[in-house]
């Protein structure tokens, strides 16, 4: 079992399989894209599988596969097949932009990988294309509906962006009237490759909730797991639910149970902190299992208590882009 220096149990790994993405969302990276890692700097599928086995042996029982966009990696399903057979791993989930997931939906269902988070920041086509800088609206929309209708547990992540998409908050929420889906509204975070800087945000979770209340004043709060990053709500008569994730306000740090490993091997104990160390060469050297376990224990034993504490300690971390640190 992994217990951090603030007595928090760490059982959830966000594992990035690539830093590449086929969209160019303007809150994530500059229009020209990011400086993506060369293949030899990325873990192989066998290495990702081995790393997962080591961490599950240390007490990780939930793994979320992230990117970049994980499905741009052509051998991703090889990894997911391996993870599906891994004893002690109780939950495998995937975060995707839903542009290229279509051909893999049937096998995901067969493997029992049913928890899918989809990043979609607009329900309006023009707004979607302006934010993503790509013409993929129909594909994303159709794949989301297919996932929902085929029984997947779909959560749509919508980042509230001042002057860009807030007029889509209520229309996106309307999806929960007709479908058993969760729409989560996230605060914008400053990890955009240095393309934008800010000290505060216009749309924090309080403003989002107040905005929703103007349209649906009778929504009510749902019970959420202690370690949940989202505070969840339901509108009477609606099939689905909605939530807010205070990713910039950081109200959930006290119960954080997460560890991130980037596609290049960086161990990240908090989004607002710099990487603790890199596991890539350690995993490729002798005594890999022993040394990886030692480094994980070291990272977990030296975590900042909150994202604010990490931000104070690690200035300059905002020059990262979300695609480089695991979405």
Per residue in 292-306, pLDDT (tens digit) is 999 999 999 988 877
Confidence of residue 254 (pLDDT cuts 50, 70, 90): confident
Q: Which of 133, 72, 68 is nearest to 100 (CA)?
A: 72
pLDDT at residue 22 is higher than 90: yes
Confidence (pLDDT) at 66: 97
pLDDT in tens, 187-234: 987 754 444 555 678 899 999 999 999 999 999 999 988 888 899 999
Helix H or strand E encompassing 126: helix 125-132
How many angstroms separate the CA atoms of 268 and 259, rounded? 6
Confidence (pLDDT) at 31: 77
pLDDT in tens, 85-138: 999 999 999 999 999 999 999 999 999 999 999 999 999 999 999 999 999 999
The pTM score is 0.91
Confidence (pLDDT) at 193: 47
pLDDT in tens, 139-179: 999 999 999 999 999 999 999 999 999 999 999 999 999 99
Burial environment of residue 287 by CB neighbours within 10 A (0 to 12, 13 to 18, 19 or more): exposed
How many angstroms separate the CA atoms of 40 and 143, rounded? 32
How many CB atoms sit inside 10 A of residue 64's CB?
A: 21
How many angstroms separate the CA atoms of 222 and 224, rounded? 6
Confidence (pLDDT) at 324: 55
């Amino acid at each position: 079992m992994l217990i951090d220096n603030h007595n928090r149990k760490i059982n959830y790994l966000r594992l990035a399989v690539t830093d590449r993405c086929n969209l160019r969302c303007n809150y994530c990276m500059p229009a020209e894209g990011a400086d993506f890692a060369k293949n030899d700097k990325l873990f192989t599928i066998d290495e990702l599988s081995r790393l997962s086995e080591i961490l599950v042996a240390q007490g990780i029982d939930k793994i979320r596969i992230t990117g970049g966009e994980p499905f741009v990696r052509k051998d991703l399903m090889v990894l997911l097949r391996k993870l599906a057979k891994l004893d002690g791993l109780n939950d495998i989930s995937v975060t995707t932009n839903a542009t290229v997931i279509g051909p893999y939906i049937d096998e995901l269902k067969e493997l029992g990988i049913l928890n899918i988070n989809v990043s979609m920041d607009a329900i309006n086509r023009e707004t979607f294309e302006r934010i993503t800088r790509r013409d993929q609206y129909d594909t994303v929309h159709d794949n989301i509906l297919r996932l929902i209708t085929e029984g997947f547990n779909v959560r749509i992540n919508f980042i509230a962006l001042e002057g860009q998409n807030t007029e889509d908050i209520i229309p996106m929420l309307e999806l929960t009237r007709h479908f058993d889906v969760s729409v989560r509204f996230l605060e914008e975070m400053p990890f955009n490759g240095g393309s934008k800087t800010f000290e505060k945000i216009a749309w924090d979770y309080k403003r989002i909730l107040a905005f929703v209340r103007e349209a649906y004043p009778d929504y009510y709060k749902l019970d959420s797991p202690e370690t949940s990053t989202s505070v969840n709500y339901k509108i009477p008569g609606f099939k689905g639910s909605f939530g807010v994730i205070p990713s910039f306000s950081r109200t959930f740090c006290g119960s954080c149970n997460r560890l991130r490993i980037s596609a290049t091997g960086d161990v990240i104990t908090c989004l607002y902190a710099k990487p603790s160390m890199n596991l890539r060469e350690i995993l490729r050297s002798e005594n890999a299992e022993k040394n990886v376990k030692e480094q994980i224990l070291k990272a977990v034993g030296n975590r900042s208590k909150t994202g604010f504490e990490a931000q104070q300690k690690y200035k300059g971390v905002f020059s990262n882009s979300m695609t480089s640190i695991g979405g």
